[in-house]
């Protein structure tokens, strides 16, 4: 099963760009990742792939509106990035809108996430900012690691305060989310804003070159222009995905069996 990373947060905080950079970082050793975006208000396939022809039947909407979701159906709707074939993409196609398909059901969203997790090493869930899109709470519940990105301003702070009650249930593990300041600029009062929400775990600073990549349709090239603070935040996520060594051996297993299991792993 893949590690599932959920990315959610306030509008305009750089969530989708962060997902693209994270995918590149996770696949440097040729492991595979899928980015899933189910925001039907902004079709992401033509944004990710402005120069790549994407067939209309590749839409994630066809999967979410199907009778049953399995790995075969999910795999058939993954669009592979031609320039970097270790990354697959799932999203809505150009011209689609919230009325193009029936309303998303919570259990179907979870089913899609679970099916995708059987295909690759990492699944990155690029969430809509609105909780009325049930894919967002389903993704937060399903994530092994959840990243919350907020603009370090009053809009970002009040977005979080407005949505916190919706994630009060323990299954959303609200207090365990990593929180990053997205599109942070020198004039932002980072410390003051962080104090209001319990602090930021890292910064994702605004950069002209990164912005240019987004504008020109080169989101997967932007990682080359990360500054040290952005890279440090990416590394925090990578570290958070590292399994604890102790988890690999059951506590109640006899010591000699632990050694045998360890030997078998390297044969």
pLDDT per residue as tens digits for the range 151-206: 999 999 999 999 999 999 999 999 999 999 999 998 888 999 989 998 999 999 99
Structural tokens at position 210 = 């990164």
> What's the CATH architecture for 3-241?
3-Layer(aba) Sandwich (3.40)
Is a pLDDT exceeding 50 seen at residue 253? no
d(CA 195, CA 200) in angstroms, rounded, equals 8
pLDDT given at position 237: 97
Domain locations in the chain as residue ranges: 3-241
At residue 152, the pLDDT reads: 94
Q: Could you tell me how many residues make up the chain? A: 267
Supply the pLDDT for residue 188: 87
pLDDT band for position 243 (50/70/90)? low
* pTM, two decimal places: 0.89
- 187 against 234, higher pLDDT: 234
229 sits in which H/E element: helix 228-240
For the stretch 243-259, what's the b/e string if a residue is b when 16 or more beta carbons lie within 10 angstroms of its beta carbon? eeeeeeeeeeeeeeeee
Q: Which helix H or strand E contains 195, and what residues bound it?
A: helix 190-197
Tens digit of each residue's pLDDT (9 = 90 or more) over 103-137: 999 999 999 999 999 999 999 999 999 999 999 99
Helix, strand, coil percentages in the chain from 3-state DSSP, rounded to 5: 45, 15, 40
CB 136 within 8 A of CB 130: yes
Q: Which residues contact 223 (CB under 8 A, 6 or more apart)?
A: 20, 21, 24, 25
Rounded to whole angstroms, the Cα distance separating 226 from 234 reads: 10
């Amino acid at each position: 099963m893949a590690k599932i990373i959920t990315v959610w947060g306030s509008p305009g905080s750089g969530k989708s760009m962060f997902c693209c950079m994270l995918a590149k970082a996770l696949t440097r050793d040729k492991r595979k990742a899928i980015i899933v975006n189910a925001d039907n208000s902004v079709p992401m396939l033509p944004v990710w792939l402005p120069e790549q022809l994407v067939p209309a039947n590749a839409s994630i909407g066809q999967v979410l509106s199907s009778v049953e979701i399995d790995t075969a159906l999910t795999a058939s709707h993954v669009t592979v990035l031609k320039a970097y074939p270790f990354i697959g993409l799932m999203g809505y196609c150009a011209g689609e809108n919230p009325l193009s398909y029936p309303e998303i059901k919570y259990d179907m969203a979870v089913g899609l996430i679970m099916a995708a997790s059987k295909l690759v090493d990492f699944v990155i869930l690029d969430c809509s900012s609105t909780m009325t899109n049930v894919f967002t709470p389903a993704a937060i519940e399903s994530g092994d690691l959840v990243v919350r990105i907020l603009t370090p301003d009053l809009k970002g702070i009040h977005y979080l305060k407005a949505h916190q009650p919706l994630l009060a249930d323990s299954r959303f593990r609200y207090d365990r989310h990593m929180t990053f300041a997205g599109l942070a600029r020198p004039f932002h009062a980072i410390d003051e804003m962080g104090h209001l929400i319990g602090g930021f775990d890292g910064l994702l600073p605004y950069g002209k070159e990164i912005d240019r990549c987004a504008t020109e349709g080169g989101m997967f090239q932007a990682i080359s222009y990360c500054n040290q603070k952005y890279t440090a935040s990416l590394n925090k996520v990578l570290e958070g995905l590292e399994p604890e060594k102790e988890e690999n051996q059951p506590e109640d297993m006899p010591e000699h069996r632990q050694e045998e299991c360890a030997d078998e792993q390297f044969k």
